[in-house]
Amino acid sequence: MKGRLACVARDRGFTLVEMLMVLTVAVVLLTLGAPAFIDTVRNNRLVTTMNALSGTLVSARAEAVAQRMIVTVCGSSDGLECDGEWAQGWISFLDEDGDETVDDDETVLRRADAVPGAISVALLGGDATVGYNSQGFVETGAATTFRVCDDRGDAHGRALLVSASGRVSVATDTDSDGIVDDVAGNNIDCP
């Protein structure tokens, strides 16, 4: 019995060499895994921004049809008026007079806060707003593109396409060059 206890007492704990090996393996795994994890977080932020913007656009279109009046979506840094600062947030509102300005008697339907991190959001083309008429069509009659980017460049950029009929879709890479395309079929250009 004594021999058995002595054997158990010797096998307790790790040697210094064993602990260093485990720490070395852990450091290597963390070093290799951290960049992939950071990219996943950044991609999720882009997707979250795209989903929030898409939700606002789809909701605005449905509300325009339901209310039988123009609903405008615009960039807004204060959640009260249009200023074109899409990365600072956006609003949708009942635009009774169709002037793309939130008047005192007009109702703000939805507000979105500033996007996280170094994400930029831009409405491409000449318009500063997207308005939906009572039939759910884009008020200007022209398709448009929203570009959503971070500091990793064009290959990581995303885009939402809004057709003239008001339908919102996620842009794809139609020419297989690794960069999504705008409504005209051109690569988006992240700043």
Residues spanned by the domain of 154:
2-170
Tell whether 105 is covered by a domain. yes
* Contact indicator for 102, 91 with CB cutoff of 8 Å: yes
* Distances from the Cα of 17 to the Cα of 14, 23, 26, 37, 66, angstroms: 8, 10, 14, 30, 71
Q: Is 153 left (phi over 0), alpha (psi -120 to 50) or beta?
A: left
User: What total number of domains does the chain contain?
Assistant: 1
Alpha-helix residue ranges (DSSP H) falling in 1-103: 2-10, 16-67
- In order along its 191 residues, the chain shows pLDDT tens digits of 555 555 455 667 778 888 888 888 888 877 777 777 888 889 999 999 999 999 999 999 999 999 999 999 999 999 999 999 999 999 999 999 999 999 999 999 999 999 987 899 999 988 899 999 999 999 999 999 999 999 999 999 999 999 999 999 999 999 999 999 999 999 999 98
Q: 100-111: b or e for each residue (b if 16 or more CB lie within 10 Å)?
A: bebeeebeebbe
- Record the tokens describing residue 2, joined without a space: 């004594």
Residue 175 lies in a domain: no
Let me know if residue 72 belongs to a domain: yes
**Residue 27 tokens, joined:** 């450091």
Q: What is the pLDDT of residue 191?
A: 86
Assign residue 63 the CATH number of its domain: 3.55.40.10
Q: What is the pTM of this model?
A: 0.82
Is 134 part of any domain?
A: yes
